[in-house]
Structures are given as C-alpha cells and as structure tokens.
Structure 1
Amino acid sequence: MTNDLAAAPDEGFEQILGYLKEARGFDFTGYKRTTLMRRVGRRMTQVGIDSYPDYLDYLQVNTDEFALLFNTILINVTAFYRDADAWDYVQSEVVPMLLAERGPDDLIRIWSAGCSSGEEAYSLAIVFAEALGVEQFRQRVKIYATDVDEDALVQARHATYSAQAIEGLPAEYVERYFEQQGEEYVFHKDLRRSVIFGRNDLVQDAPISRIDLLVCRNTLMYFNAETQASVLRKLHFALVPRGVLFMGKAEMLLSHARMFDPVDLRHRIFRKVPAALPAGTPFAHTTTLDRQRSVAAADELQALAFTASPVAQIVVNSDDVLALANQRAQRLFGLTDRDVGRLLRDLEISYRPVELRGYIQQAREDRRAVRVKDVEWQRGPGEIVALELHVSPLMATDDQPLGVSIVFHDVTTSHRLMADLATANRERENAYEELQSTTEELETTNEELQSTVEELETTNEELQSTNEELETTNEELQSTNDELQTINNTLRDRTSELDDVNEFLESILTSLRSGVVVVDQEMRVVAWNAGAEDLWGLRRDEAEGEHLLNLDIGLPVGELRPIVRPALAEADYTKDITLDAVNRKGRAVTVRISCGALRNRRGESTGAILVMEVANGEAARPDTSGTSPGRR
C-alpha cells in the first residue's frame, strides 16, 4: 500500500462508497473518512491492490469480496457485562428507577442498538430477570436487538457461547440463565423468547418507538458530526418521555445537552428531555437564506408533519417553500438537503409524478385533506410506480396555516395484487386446477412467513421509513486506554522522584547549623532553615513569602540591601559582612553574613543565598526541645 491512501479521500475512494450504496444497498457515507480509509486500505492490502480504481474493478468482478470487505469495516467487539462497573450501576440504580416509575403490569420496552452477536441483549435480559423475577420478566419485558451484520444476528439468535465468552459473568448467573451443552453454553429458551433480533440502520432507518431503555454504546464516535446529530435525534424520538439512554464510555453528548439530561456522566447514563415546540412559527421570508432559517426554526411544523408521515413525505410552508423532506421522499424523488429552502415551483417534484400546486392550493382554501388516487409514475425504464397522495393542511394552535404536508403512499403492490386477483377470478371458472395450485403455493408462502414473525415484530415498529444497514464498533478504544495508563505511570514515577529530591534538599537545609536564607529576584524569602529559626526566633511559615527587608528580627535588615542587590544581578558575585544584632534570646551578638548569587543551570542569577553565623562563638543551633521557640 502507498502512503497516498492515508491522505484525504479522493474521487476513487468516493466512487467505492457510491458503488457500495447503489449496488449493495449499504451507505457508509456517514462514517468518518479516516476510519473508513484505514479499514478499506487494510482489505486492499490483503488482496494485493494499491489503488482505489483497481479495487473498485475487483469489487465489481468478485461478488464474494463485498462480504469480506463488510467484515473488515464492521469488526464486532462485544462481551457480557462489558464495562462491569457501568452495568452494576444500571442494575443497582437505573433499573429500580425505571420500575418505580411504572405500574406493576406496565410493559417495559428495551432497545439494544448495535447488538452484534447478542451478548449485550442477553446481559439486559439477565439484569431485568434479576429485578423482576423470571415469570414477570417473560410477561412484561420485550427486548429489541438490532444490527446490520447478518452473520452476527444469526449467531445472536442461536444464543450459544463458549466458556471464554461467559467468563465475565458471575457463576450464579451462568448457572441460572445458561444450559451447558458439551463445551458450549446456551441461553435459556424461555427467556430467549423475549429477545427479538432484527436488522436496523440507525442512519437511514426509522427508530423503534416507545422505548423505556435504549442501549447504544460506543457507536456515535465513528460518525461525522452531521450523522451523529441525525442519529441522536432518532434516539431522542425513540424514547418515551424521561426514557433512559445508556451509552459507551467514549461518548459524552456534550453538544446535545438540550436533548438529554445526564443521570451519571461517568457511566454515560442520560434521560430524554421532552422537545419544546413553539406555538406557531411563520414562514414569511423571501430569500433562500431566510427561508432556510425559518425552516430550521419550525420545530412545531416538523413535529406535526413527520408525526403524520409513516412513508415518503414532504412539507411545504405557507410561502410555497420546501420546508421538510424525509429520507424516503429524498430517495424516491432524488431530493437532497440543498433542496430544502427552495421554492416548490423550482423543483421537479412540483409537477412529477403529478401537478402538486393545484392540490396544495385546494387543501389550503378548504382547510381539509385532499386525497389523490391512482397516480401512475414512470420512474424508470420498465418501472411504473402507483401512488396515492394525501395533501393535508398543517394548522397552528391559533388555527393559522403553517404549511401543507404531502404524503406519497406507494400502492404499487396493492394495484398489482388487485390486477392479479381480477385475472385469477376471470380464469377461475375455466381453470379450477390452476387455482388449486395457486392455493397450495399460498399455503407454502404462509408457512415461510411464519418463520419471520420475530423479524416482523421489529420491522412493524419501523413503518415511517425503509430498512437498510448500519454497524459500528469500538476497535481503537482499548489501545488508547493502554497509552493513557502508560503516561499516568510515567508521571507517577517522576512525581516520586521530585518528592525524593525535595526531601533531600530539605534535609540539607535542616542539617546546616548556620542560618540559611534564600531570596528570589524580588528579594522575597523562598527558604528559611532551622538555623535561621533558632537564631532569630522567626518560624519558617512566618518568614517565607515575606520581603527580606520587611522582616521584624534582631538584624538590621536594611543594611543587607547593598550586598543582596549585586548578587541578584551578577552570577559570580559573593560578599561577606559583619553586623551587630540581637538574637532570639535578646542577647547582643555579632553576625557574620556571607551573600552569594543563586545560579541556575545556565549560570544565570535567579536569587541570592545568605549564610548567617554568630561571630562571637555562640553558634546557632536547632532547637531540640520539641517546641518552636517563637518570636521574642
């Protein structure tokens, strides 16, 4: 691999992402580019390709390569009770709080987003089974576990784990919730029925709604800022009022404080803050920039429109400006975020698949919904889509019109089914045997549909949008923690060394019988040893920090200025003087004072050192009586 692949994303790399989205149905554009390029580059190295165009050709020719690339990008890392202290907090504080806020018969809905191979979902089952008891758990708790990796979901549904995988669980939990089969352990089937696995893309799919506890750990850190904001809005929508969000220890939500209140930041537990809707925001701006600002402020309009829109939907404000377009509408009609804020008449959707402006005007004037049936649209070569439109006026609390919601129901399947049934009815009189064969085929189809009941329970919650794929992982967190631990250990060792040096220097000053005083460039005392305390009766804590010439001792400190000032300026300066003074006992003494510069490693003067000795034979000795002499 060349170093070019580590640079910013180029056109070749974006073409690979576009191919994965269009041909394979997986959208990686919301992922951080540096992470994506590193992982795609790793796969290119494995197959011996060093350029993005060549690897795109390789993907198009080798159909099996997509699964291998998918597994390289989405590395599933999970474990039972991962980050045990956080799970202990959930079990001891969060779960009792949730149960106390609900009635004894209320259902509890839990969503494990990014469940990987199922360890997190089954950890949640154990936590709630411990709190409620097995029987109450089966009656009241429903756990939805979603992921984008089909192989991981298959493993999760089997609920079979090795002894190494469950070693982090307490022994009593293993005995209570698992059955040993040979060398593997299987989660109990009666509890397994309360855990429903299905596929869900947090970026593009609609969230599961009415969730009491949402577990989405170490997922947002791999998305760019725009995608993180979009996913957080979906998580906020999924939760019931004051619902709980449990995130990974690498995620903080600091920039989204208005959406969630922290319960415990250390364990990343948050509660939903209900959205506050303004009482009618007008759309009366004329420029594109002002229209976009008006659209961004219309939380009430957004809530009304998207609450009523389970399928493709757009919203036009009172100025005929496109205010909102959900993801299904964007994909169906080729709209982008840049089209929001533009006049409807400038967009193709205003007249295709049907002329909208007349129906919009009718809905506004009549102040009631307009239903447009049997709209056929030639979407592409050989592809005819049948639509039914619901054009509904959106009214503010003061009965003033805010805009119009247009919902596009895709009824292509229904039309085809009705046509097929009409044909079957016409042929039934002359083809009874063919009808019997069709009946048998329908029975076979019904048996196959029974096997997907669990997946349908998940997808029934996602009617507001279509399903695609998502996955994220926590690949680099452990290495970062290891590096931080190494840095902490190094700092701790250096701190210990500094303490030893300080203690050594302190012992030297304490051991000197002469009085030693050290001052800085401002002539403030920075060191005052025991000899100085015994000589002048001034304690160390009283002297240090004070100006040398302001000290109230028996020494004429004013006469020290002529010998101290030169030492502060000249690194090689030394000077001895003799002064008459009065010691701490009130006795007259003659003191010999030696003054020299305090030099740093560069030989520059950073202060001055004064050594004081009694010249008449009465040496200053440290007081050994066990008490401080104090000032006289």
Structure 2
Amino acid sequence: MSDGQPIPDQDFEEVLQYLKESRGFDFTGYKRTSLMRRVRHRMSQIGVDDYTDYIDQLQVNADEFSVLFNTILINVTAFFRDQEAWTYLREEVIPTLLAERGPDDPIRVWSAGCASGEEAYSLAIALAEAMGPERFRQQVKIYATDVDDEALSHARHASYAERDLQSMPPELATKYFEQQNGRYSFRKDLRRSVIFGRNDLVQDAPISRIDLLVCRNTLMYFNQETQAKILGRFHFALMPKGVLFLGKAEMLLSHSRIFDPIDLKRRLFRKAASGAGTPAHFVSHAMVHDRRVDLRGIDALREHAFSASPVAQIVVTAEDVVALINQQAENTFGLSAKDVGRPLRDIDISYRPVELRGYVDQARLERKSLRIKDVEWLRGPGESTWFEVHVNPLVGADNAILGVSVVFHDMTAARRLLEDLEHANRQLESAYEELQSTNEELETTNEELQSTVEELETTNEELQSTNEELETMNEELQSTNDELQTINDALRERTTELDRVNEFLESILTSLRAGVIVLDVQMRVLAWNRGAEELWGMRRDEAEGEHLLNLDIGLPVADLRPVVRSALSDGTFMEEVKLTAVNRRGREVLIRVVCSSLRANGGEPDGAILVMEQQED
C-alpha cells in the first residue's frame, strides 16, 4: 500500500466492500493495521475467526453493524481538548480571523469528525467569547459532521454529565451551560447556530465557503493517499486566508503547497494563496455575484483595466466604487470578491500601503497619470515590500471619465539590488578605514587579553556559586523525597481500607441467594454474584466486562433493555418484571427481575442493578 502497510487479506477487503455496499460506510481509505486490529477484536468478542463467517454474521444480525461501527469509530473527545492549542486559537487566531472580516460578514465554521459534539460547542464558546453572544447569533454558523449517527444524536441533545465538563474553566461552564436533572445542557439561544449532519470525509462533498475548519485527530486514521484526498477537499472548502486546525497527532509536511503554517506546534495552518485544489476564480464572476451597486460602462472598464501586465491592479468608478480587482491584487493585499462594489474608502487598500483617495481624486480631476515612488508596505515584522504605484484615469470614447486604474508595481527586487550596490560601495570605503585601524586593533589586543583573564576569574567565581546552588537544590530534592514518602504511606493505608471495603461488598453479594447483576452506564457487567452463577451457569469471570445484551444465558436479556435504559436515565427508577427463562439445568422457569437505578453521590444514575429470583410453580 501507499503508506507502507502490508497488503491485507483479500477476505478482509471483502468485509470492507460488504460494509460499503450494504450500509454506505467506506472504510477502504482507513489504515489497514489499526482497522484490521479493531475488526478482529470485535470478531473475537462474538467467537468468529473467519472473515467470511463474519460477513454471514452481519447478514443475519442487523444489530452487529452498530457494535462494529462503534468499535471502529473510536469517539475520543472533550471540551477544549489540548488546552494549549485552544488557548492559542482563542487568543491569536480567532481575533485575526474576525479582524479580516467585516462586522456584518457571515462566519462559517466546520467541525469535521465532531463525535459527540464537545468540539463543536467548544468552537461556539470560543467565538461567542470573542464576538459577544448577540453578534455570534447573527453571524456565525457552525457545521458539525461525523459518520457515526449515534454520536451525532448525542451531540444534537447538547446534554452532558458533570464529569464531561471537568476540562472546561468553571466560569465558562457556568456561563454557557444550564443544569437540569443532574446534567448540563448547552445554551439554547446559541445552540441554534450549531448544525449537525452526517458527512463522510472520503465520499461526500465538502461544505464550502468555510472560514475556520477544525478536524482534530481524525486524519490519522486514514492512509496517506486518503489523507491527501481529504486535505484537497479541505483546501477547496476554505475561503481565501481560511484557517485549518488539526490535532497533535497530525502533520501537513507533505502538503505545504496548499497550506501555510500559522503555528506548526499547535497544528494551525492557513490556506495558501495558490496551490493544487484551488478553484478557478475570475473577477468578472465575483462581480456578478457580489455587486452592491450598478456599475455602468462595465465593458469599457474591463477593456481598459485589464489590458496591463499581470501586476496588482484595482479599478474604481467615477463615483469611487471598487469595480474590478485582479487576482494579483487579491493575493497581495488580502482582498476578495466581496470587496467588489464597495466604496474605496471602506477597504484597507484606500489608505494602506499609501493614502490612495487623494491621488485618485487628483488623477480624475487633472486627467493625467500619477506615479508614486518608494511606497513601503510592511507585510510583517522585518518583511518590507516596496511599490511604485501608477494612478491612471480611464477616459471613455466620449471623453468622459469612466474611472481610475491603480497599478502596484513591485519594486522590491530592484530596490534591494540598489541597496546591495550602495552597501558594496560602503564596504569598499570601510575596507580602507579597516586597514588604518588594524594597527590600533593590534595595540588593543594586549588589553583585551588582560580583560579575558579577568573574565575567566569571574567565571570561576560564578561556577563556585553555581555549585553552592546545586547543593542547596539537592537538599530541597531530599526534602521533597521525604514528603513523597509520607504521601506514599498515606496512599498505602487508603489502599488497605479500600481492600477491606471491597471484601465487605464481595461478602454481601456472595451471601445473597438471589442472582444479582450490576451494570455500568454502557450496560457492561460490573458485578455477577454466586446467585447469578447458580441460575445461569455462567462464571463471574466470563460475565464481568461483557455487554448485557451479549450474554449467552437462558434469560431473554433483550426484553430487559427498556427497563435498564429507564434505570440509566432516571436516578429514582425501580421496576419489577417477570420473564420466562431457561436455567442452567435446561428447565423452563419463571424469573422475577427487579431493576433499579444505581445512583452516584450527586443523585444522577451511574448504572443499574438487576435482582433475579426464580419463582416457584
């Protein structure tokens, strides 16, 4: 394969093809090593060794698809996961992104691979903090997508347990979540701006015109070829200067041609101005879609404005409205199609890198071309670009002013060459001065040597001081070690107490004649007492850790699913049911099952307890 993995078993490829054809899930782009490991793990859980037999199992058991997909699609997420990267996004990237857009421009965000929604709501909180809730509601749309329908259903409810909010600053949790029945729900007025939907990054079309695209620790599951395909779609989805935010486990070293790093350590990238995957863009198209005023004489304007060479150029009408912007101007000054139709005074280029409006008025009134030399533009710290700006009036056939063309000629290379020549001349002049100063330098050499000896003596004293500091540090480390020993002793005592409590609880479960099953919130078996072993003939080590619905016993566990789910959602739930079952001796018996909620300290459900007794005829 393209990413160096071994060629997978053909039978395994048939499993992937069956999943694609029957359920529309295309896993062929996933890394085979991890994918095969997860499928084999699921097969071992149900006792199937052959891929062909597993396809048969999928054909006869529709519920097996859901279990397999949950095994493959490991949804590991949290609010503001990787705090350092999120802090940088909130403090540096989002303010810059908002500054580059107008106060009324829509902000479109895509959370790809959103899992159960924590990432999407983290983005909502970060933007609402930067913009204010009112402006957030008016301008922002967050599109959150995943291939896992169960995770999307969870995300749409926007309801989380207290432990899910532990990674969030308390002041944000209080501000953006409302507590209801022991759970925390995201604010409804902001929730409307977050739209959840199913999207397969490999097969489905990307969402377009995105300003910020977040896809964290999702690409790592795909092979290199599929990653390249997805990144190409991301590049197409992003607006010019749009930002891509990846996870710590992902890199873009092979895709620098379409994304430029903002902060490589924190995996933040900006869409490159040009590169593979960039859709064709023409000013005339943008003008049709985003025109704010009636641009009369547009044919004459286009004929005059774009007859020049491909340098940065804009054209304004006689009423000082921006009519045309060429591609080079967009790339150089960060303009876009949305600036077409706006008054010149409303865009940054009207005063930066040079105050244009006065020159435009002069060229229009005097009907003569103007040349502005030595215009410096600071792209960034230490990054100066020099322009010679030509302002040309555009006169129509009837001698009327149609508008003004402004052309920015990049003179940076020529200026640097001139500076290099001047620098070389200065070097020649200084060479003679250096020869004259050589004798003086030789005379000062002895003085410098003497100074060096004094510096060495000072260094020796500093080393002595450093040695004393190290001795002090060693004493502090010894003290810390003593404190850690004390903590270790306390932890050992706590472990002993926990062992006694566990033995006490074990003795209670063992003493009960009735069968007792304790389940966690995922319906996995936590405890299985001797009464349960006597009823169903399944040992404790066979049952514990298994999903209740996967237990192969005489009890019709599928009939218990509704009452168990009720117990998991209601901390006060208790209900009795009677079921016909087959005990370990193969006899048909009537079983009385009492299902109640297992409550945590805060009162919220933390599992369920099933108490089973055989009823006498």
**TM class by shorter-chain length?**
0.3 to 0.5
